[in-house]
């Protein structure tokens, strides 16, 4: 008997609030640029404590210095110009870029307390980003064959088969350990988009598919405004969070 096909992410319920009475998620935001290896070390330790019931769940917002990271599906051929340090990481996905002007949110949630459904979790992260972008007048969309959040660009050249151009505005790469998540999302607020040219972002090479940011779309939003929108929309999907 053939296994049933998984439901499209659009049809999944993205709500993953914790059970009533659960403590709020700890919400942290760091100023300046945070070293990538230090961030991973923090996540590793925090995830272990969450899994052991010794620490609350946590979302950590930050910016990194310019780096490339390679997920578990990364292909060496997609590293086109290693002009910045390259870090191999255990998250899902392929190559991505992190740097100033990009809001990274490391999401450390216990899905045992919520729902043990990895695809619904990814759907929830996408819905969180889409709702946040809507607050700035940007229509973000998910694509079943491409994880992350995309915006249509009718102002750019179409694909070879007439496909409308699309740009990725937010990336998602997560890992689960004992059903506790880590790594997370990266939303392009106002990074240097030329830095993405050193990789094939998430393995995408089609000429009509690129990257964009709020600034590139003409949205003048500061990081504090973006953080406030992320916090507000996080609560709609995952439940309450409390600033540390």
Catalytic residue from among 5, 58, 123, 202: 202
DSSP code per residue over 13-75: ----PPPTTPPPEEEEEEEEE--HHHHHHHHHHHHHHHHTTSS--EEEEEE--SEEEE-TT--
* Residue reference for tokens 């998540």: 181
Taken as a whole, the chain contains a residue count of 244
203 annotated as ligand-binding: no
Q: Is 148 annotated as a binding residue?
A: no
How far is the C-alpha of 94 from the C-alpha of 111, rounded, in Å? 23
Residue 212 annotated as lining a ligand binding site: no
Active site residue 123: no
Would you say 238 is a known binding-site residue?
A: no
- Tell whether 172 is in a known binding site: yes
- Residue 184 among known ligand-binding residues: yes
Cα–Cα distance measured from residue 141 to residue 95, given in angstroms and rounded to the nearest whole number: 21
21 known member of a binding site: no
Active-site residue list = 202
Annotated binding site for substrate: 91-98, 171-173, 184-186
């Amino acid at each position: 008997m053939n296994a049933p096909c998984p439901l499209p992410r659009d049809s999944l319920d993205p709500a993953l609030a914790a059970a009533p009475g659960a403590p709020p998620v700890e919400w942290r935001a760091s100023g300046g640029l945070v070293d990538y290896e230090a961030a991973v070390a923090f996540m590793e330790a925090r995830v272990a404590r969450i899994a052991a019931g010794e620490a609350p769940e946590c979302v950590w917002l930050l910016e990194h210095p310019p780096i490339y990271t390679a997920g578990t599906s990364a292909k060496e051929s997609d590293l086109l110009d290693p002009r910045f340090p390259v870090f191999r990481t255990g998250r899902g996905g392929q190559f991505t870029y992190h740097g100033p002007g990009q809001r990274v949110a490391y999401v450390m949630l216990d899905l045992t307390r919520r729902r043990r459904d990895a695809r619904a979790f990814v759907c929830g992260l996408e819905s969180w980003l889409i709702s946040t972008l809507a607050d700035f007048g940007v229509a973000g969309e998910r694509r079943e064959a491409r994880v992350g959040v995309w915006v249509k660009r009718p102002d750019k050249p179409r694909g070879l088969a007439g496909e409308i151009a699309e740009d990725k505005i937010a990336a998602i790469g997560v890992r689960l350990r004992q059903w506790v998540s880590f790594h997370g999302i990266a939303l392009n607020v106002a990074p240097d988009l030329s830095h993405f040219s050193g990789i094939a972002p998430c393995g995408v090479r089609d000429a009509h598919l690129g990257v964009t940011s709020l600034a590139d779309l003409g949205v003048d939003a500061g990081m504090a405004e973006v953080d406030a929108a992320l916090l507000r929309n996080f609560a709609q999907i995952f439940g309450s969070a409390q600033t540390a």
